[in-house]
Structure 1
Amino acid sequence: MRDKNEAIFTKTYMVMILGLISCFLWGSAFPSVKIGYQLFGIGANDTFEKIVFAGYRFFLSSIMIFVFCIITGRSLKIQKEDTYKVGFLGLIQTALQYVFFYIGLSNTSGTKGSILAATTTFFSVILAHFFYAEDKLSIKRIVGVILGFIGVAVVNLKGGAFQGGFKLTGEGFIIISSLVGALAGIYTKKIAKNISPFMISSYQLFIGSVVLMLAGSLGGGNGLNFTLKGSILLLYLGFISAAAFSLWTILLKYNGVGKVSIYKFSVPLFGVFLSYIFLGERLLGINVILGVIFVSSGIILINKE
């Protein structure tokens, strides 16, 4: 069965389809989260409410995957030693990463957030050098990393300078979130060798969501205003994580980090256009255009065969 799956999920067209679907879903999360803050009455300074909101989202994601596994006849039984592995992944990939992500996104625009989150790819490329022989750094990859970070810098320029263009709890937290996400991706590939991708996604999301909900509740974040529109959006956010994490874990299981990472260049593109459509954020600002060009060029260069 493993050989059959490997033959399917290593095909270029299959990697492209699943990769782009995952990245579209992640790109749509940027405007969706910001709209969610409005619908649930979460203010810019409501830190613990944001954490509880994240916990609800990922809890729903885990339940969706559990239900999918039951319907399709997939086993939900997990070995004791594997529980520790997915538990650790849940702490860093779901809990820690998204604490920084949710707080950071609330303090920057959806457009900026989507582009800054692309730094996950650059961190992944650098870290993969130390873990995988097929992903060693080269001049081509180093130039790609430089191009990418130029893009990150350009999108933060205001009036030709950095003054007022960078906030630690906004853009800074998004970058920290990206670094944690890159570390989680490296670890995901390592444990995916012997654990089902659906098992990894469901349990790590469940464990991480429980940590988020407990942390947020202990901090006093219980005042979410549920409405019909808000609940529907929360279900969509849950679906985003359930589908995107499961598909991405499958791709990482059967492909190298470098081969899969190329498709994350589309996350900022999807994020920019969807933020324009749903949030009315400016689409044609020269900084945003240049940032997208540099970020995309860097990732494509890094992964170009």
Structure 2
Amino acid sequence: MSFQNWVLLFFLSTLWGVSFVFIEMALPVFEPFTIVFLRASIGGLILLAFMKMRGASFPRGIKVWFDYAVMAALIVVIPYSLITWAQTYVTASMASILNAMTPIFTVIVAHFTTKDERLTGLKVFGTIAGFIGVTLLMLPNLEGGFRIEGLSPLAVILATIAYAFANVWGKRLSAYKAEVNSTAILLISGGMLLIPGVVAGAGTSFNDIGIAPIFAILGIGVLSTGLAYIIYFKILAEAGATNIVLVTFLIPVSAVMLGVIYLGEKLYAHHFYAVLCIFIGLIAIDGRLLRRLRVARS
């Protein structure tokens, strides 16, 4: 991978990492569904404008739009809503760490839903390590009996499972070769699907809206969604899918650093142990580092 793509990869991880901070900044004023709706709509409109600049067009056919609707639910509506709701109880740092479980759940879902992506011994080890990390994060939240906030980390886990199914379902969309325009369609479709939730949960007090929440909404829509996906597809086109996966390792790092610096979040020993376990799981599932070590030894 070129130096430019490495720089873009770190920048992308920062854009996605800061999204957790933006959510926490917006939540005191905006309802979770409203945040997700605005994020998807703003990001979708930016990608739509980028799509039109490139002369791309919308796909045609009921089957194509059905596939996009399912993908929009799996990659926008469900995970964005669950993560945003969860952050009413958990910190941006914790949400980002749990979100790193996406590749681990992807290999589990792929094992049971595809014929060519089976679990191996190394992937099973990585999955177990990841689950140990999640357990370390969730145990303190479950102390003192049943509380709704104690289940909030589970909401992030459910979001990563939705992402995992989206990664598998996304193979249906690969035949359309849509890339940026497909993401624009997904975000706009997701925004439309969120309208009932926005109406049902309407409770935003516009008298209390200050500069920080508005900045957070614009940041998560323009930077963490619209610009982030443009950069994502640029890296994907130049460096390939294998290298773009590396962003998974970087997002929690940037999110945790930003959460500590800008939100004053505190980190405890179990956070570091959890991150270590999840990163070990990701390294095992990715496999590249271990293959290079074997080559170096031989």
TM-score normalised by L of structure 1:
0.81
Q: 2:192 aligns with which of 210, 231, 248?
A: 210
Task: Check conservation: 2:23, 2:35, Cα contact below 8 A.
Answer: no
Residue 106 of structure 2 corresponds to residue 116 of structure 1 = no
Structure 1 residue 253, shift from structure 2 partner: 8.3
Could you tell me whether the CA contact under 8 Å between 1:197 and 1:246 is conserved in 2? no
Matching residue of 2:55: 74
Q: CA deviation at 1:276?
A: 0.5
Distance 1:251 1:190, change over 3 A: farther
Aligned 8 A contact 1:26 1:267 in 2: yes
How many angstroms does 1:75 deviate by? 1.4
Question: 60-69 or 166-175, which moves further after superposition?
Answer: 166-175
Residue of 194, 203, 221 corresponding to 1:238: 221
Cα separation, partners in 2 of 1:195 and 1:212, compared to 1, 3 Å:
same
Instruction: Supply the AA of the counterpart residue of 2:84.
Output: Y
Match in the other structure for 1:127: 109
| TM-score (normalizing by structure 2) | 0.83
Give the drift of 1:15.
6.9
Code of the residue aligned with 1:143 in structure 2: it is: F
State the partner residue of 1:275.
Answer: 259
User: How far apart, CA to CA, are the structure 1 residues paired with 2:150 and 2:262?
Assistant: 26
What is the CA deviation profile of residues 235-277 of structure 1, one whole-angstrom value per residue up to 9, with x for unaligned ones?
A: 1101211233455567778998776544312222222111101
Alignment partner, residue 83 of structure 1: 65
**d(CA) in 2 for partners of 1:78, 1:36:** 34
State yes or no: 1:296 paired with 2:279.
Answer: yes
Q: Which secondary structure does the structure 1 equivalent of 2:57 belong to?
A: coil
Q: Give the 3 Å change call, closer, same or farther, for CA 190–251 of structure 1 in structure 2.
A: farther
Q: Residues 66 and 257 of structure 1: is their aligned pair in 2 closer, same or farther, counting only changes over 3 Å?
A: closer
Count of matched residue pairs? 282
- Would the aligned equivalents of 2:99 and 2:157 in 1 still touch at CA under 8 Å? yes
C-alpha distance in 2, partners of 1:183/1:255?
24
Aligned-partner SS, 2:114:
coil
Give how far 1:100 is off: 1.3
Partner of 2:129: 147
Query: Is residue 114–residue 272 contact of structure 1 (8 Å, CA) maintained in 2?
Result: yes
Q: 2:22 aligns with which of 29, 32, 39?
A: 32
Question: 1:188·1:252 contact (CA, 8 Å) conserved in 2?
Answer: no
Deviation at 1:16, TM superposition (A): 5.3
Distance 1:109 1:228, change over 3 A: closer
Deviation at 1:229, TM superposition (A): 3.5
For structure 1, which runs of at least 5 residues remain unmatched after alignment? 1-10, 43-48
**Among 143, 147, 154, which residue is 1:163 paired with?**
143
After superposition, residues 187-206 of structure 1 pair within 5 angstroms as 187-206=169-188
| Aligned residue identity for 1:242 | G
Aligned partner letter, 1:35:
M
Distance change in 2, residues 1:194/1:255 (3 Å): farther
Kindly provide the amino acid, as one letter, of the partner of residue 273 in structure 1. Answer: M
Q: Is the 8 A contact 1:122 1:145 kept in 2?
A: yes
Give the Cα separation in 1 of the matches to 2:51 and 2:70.
22
The residue type paired with residue 75 of structure 1 is A
Give the Cα–Cα distance (whole angstroms) in 1 for the partners of residues 169 and 240 of structure 2.
13
Q: Cα distance, 1:143 vs. partner? A: 0.7
> Does residue 210 of structure 2 align to residue 220 of structure 1?
no
Distance 1:184 1:168 in 2: 26
Distance 1:186-1:84 versus aligned 2 partners, 3 A rule: same
Query: 2:252 & 2:178 partners in 1: Cα distance?
Result: 29
Structure 2 gaps, min length 5: 289-298
Give me the identity figure in percent. 20
